[in-house]
Amino acid sequence: MPSQLTSILSLPANTQGRDFVVGDLRGAFDLLENALATVFFNPQTDRLFSVGNVVGKHADSIKCIDFFNLPYVYAVLGNNEANLIQLYNLIGTETPNYLIRGEHIYKKGLNWWLDISHELKLTLISTLKSLPIVIETETLAGLKVGVIHAEVPLGMDWSNFKAQIIKNDPQTMFSAIQSNVRMTSSERTPVAGIDRIFAGHATIRPEHEEGLPILGNIILTDTGANLHLVHQCGGLSIIEMDSLNSIMVETLKHSRHRRADEPSALEIPDVFKILGESNNSAFE
């Protein structure tokens, strides 16, 4: 796992505007533009938190450099970004033929790496190495909120999780960036010491009647931007951090029913009731 310059970023509550969380982008910046317009995002006062995997197979992934440098954007490192750092640490900015043919390029969807200059590769890697593993902040209602890419290890509270991340503990780092145990096991035990956690990585197919899955106090946000999901279009979800109101903009190339100016609604009903039924000790 890469050792980041700043492993944990702590931010105060936003007293000037709203905070939003966006799911795995995978280079779908066209969907992001639609999503921000739909929620009337104000770059002067609002903040946008990313759960990682901003880069993906889409050629527009290189736009991530400008995205990360926006003053209102706060993003954590995803496994796609970690793969790029690993690739750079392995071969630098050159790309031997055996890697072009192998999993490091095509199987991981990083073939656009071949088309960018040496200088741009250096800039990109430097930017990715500056991303934190964990972001924490508060809402105006006083809720403590965490943003990670994957998950907190089972049985570990938020304080211990952060301590292990600071120590660069390999198993905890793996959980934060790549693990999928909670999703595959439908584990719903809340993480103690934090009110809400927004995570990506585990691609889900939300039902309009039920909304985004909530595993204890972990809200999953990856609805498959630029992916074709079985029986459903992939899309990009954006969620208001405090109210949990959300919408999903479907990937246009997979949508048969939507124009670019018609995002499909993605409601999360009775979310406070769901959270309230969890173990109250997790929200201290």
162-173 pLDDT tens trace:
999 999 999 999
Work out the angle at residue 22's Cα, subtended by the Cα atoms of residues 144 and 223, and round it to the nearest 5 degrees.
Answer: 115
Average pLDDT over residues 65-85: 91
Q: What is the pLDDT of residue 265?
A: 35
* Percent with pLDDT over 90 in the chain: 37
Q: What is the pLDDT of residue 3?
A: 55
Indicate the average pLDDT of the chain.
78
Identify the CATH assignment for 8-277 out of 3.40.30.10, 2.40.50.140, 3.40.50.1820, 3.60.21.10: 3.60.21.10
Question: Cα separations (Å) of 47 from 63, 201, 253?
Answer: 19, 21, 28
Q: What is the pLDDT of residue 275?
A: 29
Query: Which is higher by pLDDT, 152 or 179?
Result: 152
Of the pLDDT bands very low, low, confident and very high (cuts 50, 70, 90), residue 236 is: confident
Structure tokens at 255: 């949508």
Do residues 130 and 156 lie in contact, with contact meaning Cβ atoms separated by under 8 Å?
no
Q: What is the pLDDT of residue 107?
A: 54
Residue 252 CB coordination number (10 Å): 15
**At residue 109, does pLDDT exceed 50?**
yes
Residue with the two structure tokens 């009337």: 40
Which of 227-242 are b and which e, b meaning 16 or more Cβ less than 10 Å from the residue's Cβ? beeeeebbbbbbbbbb
Q: What is the pLDDT of residue 97?
A: 58
Query: Which is higher by pLDDT, 91 or 65?
Result: 65
Residue with the two structure tokens 């990715």: 128
Give the least confident one: 7-11, 130-134, 139-143, 270-274: 270-274
Distance separating alpha carbons of residues 237 and 38, to the nearest angstrom = 11
Question: Cα separations (Å) of 37 from 34, 213, 236, 249, 261?
Answer: 5, 24, 13, 11, 9
Question: Cα separations (Å) of 100 from 62, 80, 119, 121, 255?
Answer: 18, 17, 20, 16, 32
Q: What is the pLDDT of residue 19?
A: 95
**At residue 214, does pLDDT exceed 70?**
yes
Average pLDDT over residues 13-38: 90
Q: What is the pLDDT of residue 230?
A: 52
Give the least confident one: 35-39, 71-75, 91-95, 146-150: 91-95
Q: What is the pLDDT of residue 31?
A: 86
Average pLDDT over residues 54-76: 88
Do residues 145 and 136 lie in contact, with contact meaning Cβ atoms separated by under 8 Å?
yes
Structure tokens at 175: 């959980």
CB neighbour list of residue 75: distance below 8 Å, 6 or more residues apart: 49, 50, 51, 52, 54, 67, 68, 131
Do residues 248 and 236 lie in contact, with contact meaning Cβ atoms separated by under 8 Å?
yes
Query: Which is higher by pLDDT, 272 or 155?
Result: 155
- Domains of the chain, by residue range, sit at 8-277
Query: Which is higher by pLDDT, 198 or 93?
Result: 198
Distance separating alpha carbons of residues 172 and 152, to the nearest angstrom = 8
